[in-house]
Structure 1
Amino acid sequence: MLKLIQNAVQKEMTNPSWKYSCPHVLVATIVALLFGYHLGVVNEPLESISVDLGFSGDTLAEGLVVSTCLAAAFAGSLISGWIADGVGRRRAFQLCSLPMLLGASICATAKTLAGMLAGRFLVGLGLGVGPPVASLYVAEVSPAHVRGTYGSLIQIATCLGLMAALVIGIPVKNIVGWWRVCFWLSTIPAAILALAMMFCVESPHWLYKRGKLAEAEFEFERLLGSSHVKSAMLELSKSNRGDETESVKISELLHGRHSRVVFIGATLFALQQLSGINAVFYFSSTVFRRAGVSSNLANVFIGIANLTGSIVALVLMDKLGRKVLLHWSFFGMALAMALQVFASSGIASNYGAFYFSVGGMLLFVLTFAVGAGPVPGLLLPEIFPSRIRAKAMAFCMSVHWVVNFFVGLMFLRLLDQLGPHLLYSIFGTFCLMAVVFVKRNVMETKGKSLQEIEIALIPQEYRIVFQEFS
């Protein structure tokens, strides 16, 4: 009898198999695939779109084609937390796929700049809702020992989507109207996401918060196996004791016991975008053409660097941890910007400047993909308490989209007015600021359950209250 009990305890203590949760995570990463695709879909075709729709040579209009999507994504991200908490994570995925389907169709059939902007706006609404929900979902359905790996899958899917957009855009200069095909193709994964989510699990964390305990147990069994259901439910009950039942207000995110972790999350996303990374993804073709490099070749190498870094992150995320990857990623990005500054300073010869410029750009993308790309989206759902997780993630993503919008809108104009030397110096400075911020403010969450992280982050003045409820 004693041996049977020991065997049962040992079985309970082992990590659950990743095979149960993996299919559900893979479906969720379709959002990231669409995110990457729509980031890059206008990169190569932008010149053809401007000619066909009658705004060729207008850099502000070209910036609007990029940034309208980002502005709408800001609006979508503001409501994503309320949607995710209101209808559940699965339904939120399905809702975000609808404007992406409709918006891409409008872009593909646009005859004017206004039509293109309308379609990009709808796509942006879906992109604003989708990524924060994907980060939440992956964090909540993943076993702790592979949560970092699953988080890296989001970055890899983003990378694959971006690569697909860049590669699919290559024939645009040789085939009239090819840019319309580029938009039509994006409707396929959006439709797959809406249908496949019908067969995926709902987040047990959301079900538990809604008082649906039996359903939460059932979903845990699908995700972890029957032997791990009791321990998972016990952890949920510990972390949710003492949580208030009323809705979370924005003021609560900015003040009070959770304000520090929200500040950390918002600042991480702001620094990620102020590094200038999405300017590379939006305008790499333009930048490389100015350096005398074939845009097709440049986009291929950008995609390879992004994918390579994402694979490295996949391997190392649960070995080295989030903080180490984030710290050295930003440091590598700062070094890459230093190479760009040197290349544009006039000190190097024309031949040397060419290699420093291209090498710096590829190093920048590579080091971004190792840490600064995948870690914030994974780390924030880990450090946010369960009660505020969805809405805090929405708030931080809104900061991401605001900064992203201005980078996308102003990059080409700033490049012309300030010159690459000064602009890349500014980007490098923000990368160094991020290194210092990560060192001082970010905790390591590798291998810890969401409940352990939540308890560890409770401010000292609130810990006694929490312990009384526990």
Structure 2
Amino acid sequence: MNKSYTVLISLIVALGGFLLGFDSAVISGAVKGITAYFNMTDAMLGFSVGCVIFGAMAGNLLAGPMADKFGRKNVLIVVAALFAISASWSALATSYVEFIIARIIGGIGIGGAILIAPIYIAEIAPPKLRGSLVSFNQLNIVIGISVAYFSNYFLVNYGDESWRWMLGVEAIPAIVYFASLFTVPRSPRWLILKLNKVKLARKILQKIGGEEYAELTVAEIQRGLEKKEKKGKLSDLFKSKYATIMIIALGIAFFQQITGINAIFYYAPTIFEQAGGSTDSSFLQAIVVGLTNLVFTLVAIWLIDRLGRKPLLLLGTSFMTIALLMAALAFNNATYNFNGDALKRVGDPQIYKALQPMEGESFESQSRLFEAVNERLAEEQFLNFKRNEITNFININASLVLMAILLYVAAFAISLGPVMWTLISEIFPSKIKGIAISVVGFFNSLVSFSVTQVFPWELSNLGPTLTFALYALLSLLAFFFVSRYVIETKGKTLEEVEQSLIRT
């Protein structure tokens, strides 16, 4: 068996996961720059960040049929091109509409990469290596997120429009991915199932595992083709016998996103600046968030077949709730002091002039602060104050905020993050698995889009205390949902899982 060749192919294809993670997180560093450049409202900012998920939903719907028709490799090549176009165009955009279009193009790439890269790897990998090789994709997503935070940190002071460099640098790995994909073979299973090119498929399989492996695999694929079960339809998902499965799948997909993980990843520097950090320290803290996500994803991969799915979900949602309550408590206990030094740090001269009479005043809550400030500022000035200037006056336990965010990310990374897709791949019968996972993935992206769209408005209007308290409540509900509905699948065959969930 040519293990090194198979690993190399898988690593090349898994670069799609790296780009997915990078594209998802890199926007966090550009938030402040694009808000100012395109003069965005909260709604516009939320859409500019979240529209990539909007594109991903389209990618989810298009990628499967396109991969079946044109092949996994060809679709991945298109995905790489979309990432390169999106990165370059978003970096060069001069209008809000241009920027949105560029972001949506990248989102389509994300939707394709998240579905097709693991499918290709699963089809090319021998059974003994399949689990570890498919996990390359998830691991690369997390690495991509971490690298994006590092990149943002080093580029944050790179000129007045550093956000352009942050977004544009993604074109480099995208072009490398595009070129590398031409060196990988087409999926042997797709070649047989769609084109009946048995000879070419056998040649690829021989290079992967030798002649005996190639003959056995070709025979297995052909037997599967002969006995191919009729594919499930969308209407099948609504049959009463699948009700328990759909409750678990849609529930886990809902709670994975509604508890705020993408809000944290997309707006990490913004959150740390709200806690009074400087721009540089906020970006540095975002790097720590990315590394924490990486480390605990590795922990989850190690624990998932040892501890089990349900225990990890219960453990993770418990600590997510605690972490989010810690963040809410930190912001709730913050005070706001209008001393001379704080006023001098105000960047807008008009806001400075309007607030100067407040020198010496202090506030015990954000709501009272906003009431007082709102009386002195015009609407646009007040929005600018809430977004940018409030950090000059806050006195908060910033260490507690950092600890809370790191605990939250760690808890998510060992539970809802990786466990959701593992669980969903196990609970659906083969007849409906394809259509069901597409529907659940689409729903998951829809919830994610909603969260990222609303988060800037929540920070500006509800304030961080209520925002984090709301996410804590949703994490607690996730704990009770897992406790009540999710079954343990560790050590069970897929047939045993199917028997325990399907209503007769």
Normalising to structure 1: TM-score of the pair?
0.81
Query: Match of 1:398?
Result: 442
- How many Å separate the matches in 2 of 1:123 and 1:353? 37
Identical aligned residues as a percent: 26
Query: Match of 1:193?
Result: 177
Query: Match of 1:467?
Result: none
Distance change (3 Å), C-alpha of 1:411 and 1:352: closer
8 Å CA contact retained: 2:139, 2:297 = yes
8 Å CA contact retained: 2:327, 2:404 = yes
List runs of 5+ in structure 2 lacking aligned partners: 336-363, 365-393
Distance change (3 Å), C-alpha of 1:59 and 1:25: same
Cα deviation digits, residues 379-401 of structure 1 (max 9, x gap): 43455455554443322221121
Give yes or no for the alignment of 1:164 onto 2:147. yes
Distance change (3 Å), C-alpha of 1:237 and 1:372: farther
SS at match of 1:169: helix
Distance change (3 Å), C-alpha of 1:319 and 1:232: farther
Letter matched to residue 344 of structure 1:
F
How do 1:31-430 residues align onto structure 2 when only pairs under 5 Å count? Answer: 31-53=16-38, 55=39, 58-143=41-126, 147-170=130-153, 171-207=155-191, 209-210=193-194, 212=196, 214=198, 218-228=203-213, 243-245=228-230, 248-255=232-239, 261=245, 263-293=247-277, 294-346=281-333, 353-386=397-430, 388-430=432-474
- How many Å separate the matches in 2 of 1:60 and 1:212? 51
Distance change (3 Å), C-alpha of 1:305 and 1:20: same
**More displaced, 71-80 or 326-335?**
326-335
- How many Å separate the matches in 2 of 1:324 and 1:191? 41
Cα deviation digits, residues 4-31 of structure 1 (max 9, x gap): xxxxxxxxxxxx7864532222122211
Q: What's the offset of the Cα at 1:442?
A: 4.2
SS at match of 2:182: helix
- How many Å separate the matches in 1 of 2:467 and 2:283? 24
Q: What's the offset of the Cα at 1:156?
A: 2.6
Q: What's the offset of the Cα at 1:122?
A: 1.0
- How many Å separate the matches in 2 of 1:457 and 1:306? 30
Alignment length, in residue pairs? Answer: 441
- How many Å separate the matches in 1 of 2:243 and 2:290? 37
Q: What's the offset of the Cα at 1:66?
A: 0.3
Q: What's the offset of the Cα at 1:291?
A: 0.9
Give yes or no for the alignment of 1:433 onto 2:477. yes
Letter matched to residue 304 of structure 1:
L
List runs of 5+ in structure 1 lacking aligned partners: 1-15, 465-470
Distance change (3 Å), C-alpha of 1:263 and 1:461: closer
Letter matched to residue 63 of structure 1:
G
- How many Å separate the matches in 1 of 2:285 and 2:497? 43
8 Å CA contact retained: 1:103, 1:122 = yes
Please give the root-mean-square deviation of Cα atoms over the aligned residues, in Å. Answer: 3.5
- How many Å separate the matches in 1 of 2:314 and 2:227? 34
Query: Match of 1:468?
Result: none
Distance change (3 Å), C-alpha of 1:121 and 1:352: closer
SS at match of 1:292: coil
Q: What's the offset of the Cα at 1:152?
A: 4.0
Letter matched to residue 444 of structure 1:
T
- How many Å separate the matches in 1 of 2:243 and 2:204? 31
SS at match of 1:43: helix
8 Å CA contact retained: 1:68, 1:117 = yes
Q: Greater Rg, structure 1 or structure 2?
A: 2
8 Å CA contact retained: 1:338, 1:428 = yes
8 Å CA contact retained: 1:32, 1:157 = yes
Cα deviation digits, residues 153-202 of structure 1 (max 9, x gap): 33331222122222222333441333222233212222233332333344
8 Å CA contact retained: 2:257, 2:448 = yes
Distance change (3 Å), C-alpha of 1:458 and 1:254: same
Query: Match of 2:382?
Result: none
8 Å CA contact retained: 1:76, 1:124 = yes
Cα deviation digits, residues 302-335 of structure 1 (max 9, x gap): 1221121123234334444444434433333223
- How many Å separate the matches in 2 of 1:368 and 1:220? 38
Letter matched to residue 177 of structure 1:
E
Letter matched to residue 271 of structure 1:
F
**More displaced, 91-100 or 320-329?**
320-329
**More displaced, 257-266 or 122-131?**
257-266
8 Å CA contact retained: 1:41, 1:166 = yes
Q: What's the offset of the Cα at 1:274?
A: 0.9
Letter matched to residue 156 of structure 2:
V
SS at match of 2:93: coil
